[in-house]
Structure formats: structure tokens, C-alpha cells
Amino acid sequence: MKAAIYPGSFDPVTYGHLDIIRRASEIFDELTVSVLNNKTKTPLFSVEERVKMLEEATRDLPNVTIDSFSGLLIDYAARKDIHVAIRGLRAITDFEYELQIAQTNRKFSDGKLDTVFLTTSLEYAYLSSSTVKEIASFNGDISECVPDFVGRLLYKKYNEIGAGNEQ
């Protein structure tokens, strides 16, 4: 049985992430999408909110599980006995950063954690959580970027914290 982890911030989950999740779930028997609880970043949504959004958005994918973790990915993967990490690549700018992380993870896990890259579907190449947050913070149209329920949660959040504060 082949299992993989797709780690990320998912703040919030976008159609770009969902495209990678669906494709990875077709390649692997089991996919764990895991929200990184990164104490050095100030996310817009809490880990619990992000987990809930991912659960809702992947309800139709039976072999996908949502989880969260803090600390090093290699330690988390070792605890779960999973040896493949999935990452998405949008542009050459992603590549340099992702290559460095992938090589670091491979080295410091003694070769136990490899990274498989899926390239973005072209229609989502422009899409990032930060862009979506910026547009939503000014009440712009994000219907082509995130599922409707995620959009509603974004507008609600910005109503609470004030427009233009995209975090």
C-alpha cells in the first residue's frame, strides 16, 4: 500500500491545492493532507479552521484524510510511517525553494522521506492563498479561486477583522 503526505499551510485551501489533492489521491492508495502548525507565521485561519475546511472540501475523496502537525515534517512522517511527501509546483520560483526543502528532508531523514512534485494545472498556475486573501480582504470576486463555502468564511473573517487587513 502506497501512502503519501501533502503538507502545507492551506490558509485557506484553494482550487490549486484541491487539484493537487485529487491528482495525488489517484496516484497513491492513501493520502494524508496535513496542516502545518507553524508558530513563526501568523495565519488568517486557525489550524482547526483549516482542518475543517479541508475536510469539507475533500469529502468526496474516500482515501484522503486530514490531519495537522507541528515540528519537522521528517519526524511527523516517521511517526506515521509514510515515506513520500507531495508538493505542488507552480513556477520556477517555487522550484528553487521546494528543491532545497526536498533535499534537506531526504538528507535528514536518511533517505526515508522523498518528495514527489506535481505540476500545477495551468488554470491554477496563478493561484496562491495569499492572492486569494488579498482579493477577499477588499471584497473582490474569488469564486474562481476557492469553493463557495471557503469564500464565505473568508469574507466573514475580513468583516470581523476589517477590510484591507489581509494578514
Among 104, 115, 128, 167, binds ligand ADP (CB under 6 A): 128
Give the distance, in angstroms, between the CA of residue 126 and the centroid of all CA atoms in the same chain.
15
Measured from the CB atom, the residue of 13 and 158 that comes closer to ligand ADP is 13
Strand order in the sheet with 30-36: 64-69, 30-36, 3-8, 84-89, 114-119
Closest-CB residue for ligand ADP? 16
Catalytic residue of the set 22, 52, 90, 106: 90
Task: State yes or no: residue 37 binds ligand ADP (CB under 6 A).
Answer: no
What is d(CA 109, CA 4) in angstroms, rounded to the nearest whole number? 15
Strands (E) in the chain, as ranges, are 3-8, 30-36, 64-69, 84-89, 114-119
User: Is residue 50 among the annotated active site residues?
Assistant: no
Task: State yes or no: residue 120 binds ligand ADP (CB under 6 A).
Answer: yes
Task: State yes or no: residue 9 binds ligand ADP (CB under 6 A).
Answer: yes
What is d(CA 15, CA 101) in angstroms, rounded to the nearest whole number? 24
Task: State yes or no: residue 69 binds ligand ADP (CB under 6 A).
Answer: no
User: Is residue 90 among the annotated active site residues?
Assistant: yes
Looking at the annotation, which residues are catalytic?
17, 41, 90, 129
